[in-house]
Amino acid sequence: MYPKDLKYTNTHEWARVDEGFVTVSITSFAAEQLSDIVYVELPSEGASVERGSSFGVLESVKAVSDVYSPVSGKIQEVNHRLEDEPELLNNDPYGEGWMVKILAAGEGELDNLMDAEQYESFVEQERGE
């Protein structure tokens, strides 16, 4: 159900390792929970981010939520399309709805994240609560 080539956080972000950088956005579960996302605040290119700290903010109807970075590093690229088309996060969270590309500070930054199977059971647990 969740893409096998991605890693996941317990705050519902995904991370994909490409050559030299890590692409990050929110999972389909997060998008579904938020419902229609209407505003997106993104960081600036070149900004430093720390693992577990907020790098962006989203608003769905009447709720503002922080988005957390799965890795430490520098923001290399930002998907500015989301500022005009925030619905991409709902419609295509693993593709056109990517948020940022981060140049990770070091190897092993993704080691503590969940794989797709672990994330699926984590979501089931949250749904059950």
How far is C-alpha 60 from the chain's CA centre?
15
Provide, rounded to whole angstroms, the least separation between the CB of residue 1 and other proteins. Answer: 20
Q: Which two tokens stand for residue 69?
A: 């970075």
Q: Which one of 1, 39, 46, 117 is in contact with other proteins (CB under 8 A)?
A: 39
CB 51 within 8 A of CB 126: no
Q: Which one of 3, 11, 118, 122 is in contact with other proteins (CB under 8 A)?
A: 11
Provide, rounded to whole angstroms, the least separation between the CB of residue 60 and other proteins. Answer: 8
Tell me if 79 contacts other proteins by CB under 8 A: no
- Chain positions 50 to 69 lying near other proteins, rule: CB under 8 A, are 54, 57, 59-66, 68
Q: Which is nearer to other proteins, 50 or 115 (CB)?
A: 50
Q: Which two tokens stand for residue 59?
A: 């608003």
90 contacts: CB under 8 Å, gap ≥ 6: 31, 34, 35, 36, 37, 97
Residue identified by tokens 């890795």 is 71
**Where does this chain bind other proteins (CB under 8 A)?**
11, 33, 38-39, 41, 54, 57, 59-66, 68, 129
